[in-house]
A and B are shown apart, each in its own frame.
Chain A
Amino acid sequence: MNETLFLGARLLDPASGMDVTGDLLVREGAIADLGQAIGSPEGVETVDASGLCLAPGLVDLRAAIGEPGAEHRETIASAAQAAAAGGITTLCALPDTHPALDDPALVQFVLRRGEATGSITLLPYGAATKGCAGQEIAEYGLLQQAGAIAFTDGRRAIGSARTMRLALSYARTFGSFVVQHPEDPSLAAGGAATEGELATRLGLPGIPAAAEVILVARDIALARLTRGQVHFAHVSTAAALDLIRAAKAEGLAVTCDTAPPYFDLNETAIGDWRSYAKLSPPLRPEADRLAVVAALRDGTIDAIASDHQPHDADDKRLPFAQAEAGGAGLATLLGVTLARVHGGDLTLLAALDLLTARPARLLGLPVGRLAKGAPADLVLFAPDRAWQVKAGQLPGKAQNSPFDGRALEGRVVGTWKVGRRVFGA
């Protein structure tokens, strides 16, 4: 019988609030037992986890993977390698690939490629509109049957209010939701940095923070109109978070995530033309970063996603405005989130909740918890182990980390997917 016993771990289950030192037994890919003094079956393989934290494998709501179409940047296999090193066991892939995932066969292709890695559950989004072009809605029913987890145009905003209205209404038919990249396309066009003093000094075309606020406000109104469910990705401004907080209080089906750059960095990271810190949406002033931290604390933000976007050196070693936006984020997702725990902004359980149970609940998945019978998707990490992010030495193919040089505390020691070790010696 295939059994693994973790001994003396700090068991962390955000869903139940459990935080105890104990053992955890995995049998046939599922959690068989956990707690104190659960006993040791004969012949079991043991993992000495004393001094380490054992938590559910991370559930990442948002990653743009190079495959299909940009395999020179990243393949599904290399993304899976980086995800495993980051403690991620469930990864949602954006559909704005080449071709866009607007056909059931393409969704099935990505699912198969994910399964072939054996190390992650890769869940593709279906395109919200055909070709992710923002015009006609895609075949949500067929895409969902093929395995699409929800619907989005990925890194492109659905700019037309009419199209968004139809998408929200139609997704509701299938009990699904629409993920929006909240940035008004006409205000954001050509922009490279948040409009303000720094962009003015650097001579960079600016994107006003209002570009995010406008689309969030509009889509909240459309959620009210359609009774559909909208999820805002990588929310980064204080004003947009205020709107989402109010919409939730009103009882609308509105959720959101943010990504580590928006609570760990501010716009000064692009000083000296650091194109690795060019992101979409662009990094914001410190006041917005603080508002994102506050919204993580008060529950307005439902999840922390990696917002991983692979780019190679040719995409980034360009004059700033010509460089591609987006940063690699899989391997640093846990470490950068733990910085907010070490900084006293979040408890360890609250931080893990945002990385596991809450995104799993949003997607309706049985993962993201340490409980008897749950799939044994696990991450073992040393909460205080120091390391430094070094572009060029990250796992996987994509090395374009906006955190290059950042010193972190908290490192993944091992990752298990349905009971099988997929990362760590």
Chain B
Amino acid sequence: MAHTPFERIWDRHVVKDYGDGRSLVFIDRHFLQEATSGRAFDRLRAENLPVRRPDLTVGTIDHSISTLPGRTLHSFAAGVARNVAMHKNCADFGVRLFSIDSPHHGIVHVAGPNLGFAIPGSTYVCGDSHTASCGGVGAWAWGIGTSEVMQVLATQSLILRKPRTMRATFNGRLSKGVYAKDMILALIGRYGIEAGVGHTVQYAGPAISALSVEGRMTVANMSIEFGARGGLVGADDTTFEYLHGRELAPKGAEWDRAVADWRRLYDLGDAMFDREIEIDCSTLGPQVSWGTTPQDVIGVNETIPDPSSIADPTRKAMTERAIDYVGLTPGTPIAGTPIDVAFIGSCTNGRLSDLEAAAAIAKGRKVAPHVKALVVPGAAHVKAAAEAAGLDKIFIEAGFEWREAGCSMCVAAGGDIVPPGQRSMSTSNRNFEGRQGPGSRTHLASPAMVAAAAIAGCIADVRTMMH
């Protein structure tokens, strides 16, 4: 069986095979964030251990900060202790920190690729489940828990079991008004939230190749919602153009050697995957989630599922519970459902191309008077580029709030919370019960769809608002 790119990456990172199905695997890149690293540093102190490779480790602060204009590390009271500890931990252990005053600051998974810290073929971890986003540049990237953060700090390695491989092929071409977010929502909707368990997914096919690196990151981001810890897109010329010259990317002759290596690494040849699935993008319309797991997805012109038509008792009960929680009526169209909150941001859809797509809808229009609408750039560089292009003015004139970078309403962080019972249309990745605040109801969709809902005041087909 010919090796897949993932298996090649695995092979070159095994430090030691323990012979019981587990191996010690070397970690090339470790990005820390304040919410999951505190206890890891505490343990290092208690054990009197240094950070083994501060040169392969960087940090940022994204979850525990306010995103209000003029914010400081102290603006969001509940986050102060963590933010202050993060500064101290990074200073004490010699880790480079991109704090809120850095031009490289941002949500960890938006900042990493932008810095060129995430590179193809690398093993890349962070104490955060959406680390898989960095698979968009061809890094094998996955989220870890705090105990593992501590182990990587101490040993620059992790004990792992080799995941199986899966290829998800996206055929066809996206039509207008349909985006990377719709591709991954459709995949999860079709195959379910457990389909990826135990696998590293390779996203492939013409619709993936046609995506920008930013779109590829949106797809890879939601690998975890698909059940996989990591998912990657083969590095190609699009990737190399994106990475070339970035702050921490390889430079000069090393860059050329690296690119030659990455091309070989990602040559698919006749690679055989343990599982193959596919999805046709040419018939795909805008997607929106209706329930409380990311597989509860329908097209914007479809109707809320009717539990009485479901035979399987478990699925029936789940659907009933979800519909009750989100407060919708089975069998009715999802379009036209009034919303209270519109959130554009997060590591899924907080990049420049996402804000551009949303601004194209918002331009010259007004947010419905009953909707609270937020645009939260995923990183400082996104905010700067958007402002240089005048997107901030478009949003503000339309009635959106324009914020500083951070996680914000994705996880009800930094003081941005969806009040109980309110309905949010959100570009984030999770619609779990209580995710955007106790009692919050979340619908996941693309940035253009969220902008359309903010304007219409209800869930709406963005294609009717495009010229």
A binds B: no
Instruction: Name B's A-contacting residues (CB within 8 A).
Output: none
